[in-house]
A and B are shown apart, each in its own frame.
Chain A
Amino acid sequence: MAGPEIERMIQLLAKLPGLGPRSARRAALFLVKRRDSLLDPLSRALADAAATVKTCSVCGNYDSTDPCAICADPKRDASQICVVEDVSGLWAMERTGLFRGRYHVLGGVLSALDGIGPEDLNIPALLARARDGQVSEVILATGATVDGQTTAHYIADRLKDCPVSVSGLAHGVPVGGELDYLDDGTIGAALRARRPV
């Protein structure tokens, strides 16, 4: 039906999240039809990313420089480190524009099911950063799941000997949330974390 180059492009596009073979075929056709405005720039952008993007040796973020732009930014507060499960968590925090400290990407969470132990996570580097004297607070922003919170407790234990305060994100009613539509766990967490108004 299509040449081997297009078939190969369809096969690779089908591996992207959210795309199956059918939608990959549509995307491939869309790209081929817009060679100048989309296909060429996209292929150059992908080649550039493949050539330059690396993992930050300090925090584990992805960037074209090492250390990454966040770690290298002198305006960021070096006394606060926000610990996230993966880079998508870092991007989510950055989208808020509220956190001006630095990050540490764990690369996953402890999971007995998947055989992920502490040695598989980027924890030693976090401990080293927490001991270097610059950091005063570590914010554990792992997910509100059993694995995420188990990881947070584990890290909090390991940080006990470091001269830093350890905090975790609050769990509770989201902005725009109505109690009627919330699950029992979220309402329970919000009730336990209630504060004076």
Chain B
Amino acid sequence: MEWSEEAILLSARRHGEAGAVATLFARGKGVHAGMVPGGASRAMRGVLQPGNLVLATWRARLSEQLGSFHLDPLRDVAGALLSDAARLSALSSACALVEAALPEREAHPALWDATRALLDALPSESWATVYVHWELALLRELGFGLDLSACAATGVTEELCWVSPKSGRAVSRQAGEPWRTKLLPLPAFLLAGGEGRAEDLLAGLALTGYFLDRHVMAAHGLSLPAARSRLVDRLRP
């Protein structure tokens, strides 16, 4: 068995004295773990950082075996963000969420494309906006996508400013007013596009965080990654 594909490194754990077990996210293979012989070496330590892009070649005698990876570095994403605490938290959070939420060896090409786009956007100014959209894409990929197209109660498509925590559907200002304390705020940038301001980004993360926690992490007996909490703290004014 052998395949070779561009992949995003999600995590690496030292195995024995010289090796490591790496978990990657490949477009056509999904989340996939494998042994990296020599993964604890000085040369490989820089490559095996979460978020880095690699060309992965996986080999095993049988498909159900752990197998081994040969990794060629393609882009050092993590290294460029080490000095930026907020961006580093976003990168760590995205990697941790993908690893925790996606089943192993199941292709999710749409989410891979979104994650690749997130990695490209992280050095830019609009990285936080892209990150919130990425979490929406993660929810969509897992089957818990939010329906922000029309009001769940009245069907109107204007002045949508809440999301029902029960159904994940948008609610208009008028229809949601009596239940405003129970509804989740829907930041305008998620519908209108453009960049979100700090408070909108926090509202966006609170929205996606609620559904990720309820539908994805709790189902696995986990809580949201610590890196995500640190990201939220960083974005607080």
Contact = CB atoms under 8 A, between A and B. Distances in A.
Interface of A: 17-18, 110, 112-114, 117, 144-146, 149-150, 153-154, 156-157, 171, 183-186, 188-189, 192
Interface of B: 11, 13, 17, 45-47, 49-51, 73, 75-76, 78-80, 82-83, 85, 88-89, 91-92, 96, 225-227, 230
A112 B78 contact: no
B45 A145 contact: yes
A185 B78 contact: yes
Contact of A188 (B11, B76, B85, B92): B76
Contact of B49 (A110, A114, A145, A171): A145
Contacts of B92: 112, 146, 150
Given A17-B17, A112-B96, A184 B89 contact: no
Nearest to A17: B17
B226 A112 contact: yes
A13 to B, nearest CB: 14
Contact of B82 (A154, A156, A183, A189): A189
Contacts of B13: 113-114
A185 B46 CA distance: 8
Nearest to A182: B46
Given A112-B96, A146-B49, A157-B85, 6 more contacts: A18-B17, A112-B227, A185-B76, A185-B78, A185-B80, A186-B79
Nearest to A185: B79
B140 to A, nearest CB: 24
Which residue of A18, A146, A185 has the most chain B CB atoms within 10 A of its CB atom?
A146
**Top 3 nearest A-B pairs by Cβ distance?**
A185-B79, A185-B76, A153-B85
Contact of B88 (A117, A149, A156): A149
Nearest to B14: A114
Contacts of B96: 112
Contacts of B45: 145
Nearest to B76: A185
Contacts of A117: 226
Contacts of B85: 150, 153, 156-157
Contacts of A112: 92, 96, 225-227
A183 B78 contact: no
Nearest to B225: A112
Contacts of A110: 226
A183 B83 contact: no
Given A18-B17, A112-B225, A185-B46, A146 B80 contact: no
Contact of A184 (B50, B79, B83): B79
A149 B11 CA distance: 15
Nearest to A184: B76
A153 B88 contact: yes
Contacts of B76: 183-185, 188
A156 B49 CA distance: 22
B80 A188 contact: yes
Contact of B51 (A18, A144, A146, A154): A146
Nearest to A114: B13
Given A112-B92, A150-B92, A183 B46 contact: yes
B70 to A, nearest CB: 17
B11 A113 contact: yes
Which residue of B17, B96, B225, B226 has the most chain A CB atoms within 10 A of its CB atom?
B226
Given A18-B17, A112-B225, A186-B79, A150 B73 contact: no
A185 B227 CA distance: 22
A19 B16 CA distance: 11
Contacts of B51: 146
30 contacts: A112-B225, A113-B11, A113-B13, A114-B13, A144-B82, A145-B45, A146-B49, A146-B78, A146-B91, A146-B92, A149-B82, A149-B83, A150-B88, A150-B92, A153-B85, A153-B88, A153-B89, A153-B230, A154-B230, A156-B85, A183-B47, A183-B76, A183-B79, A184-B79, A185-B76, A185-B78, A185-B80, A186-B79, A189-B80, A192-B83
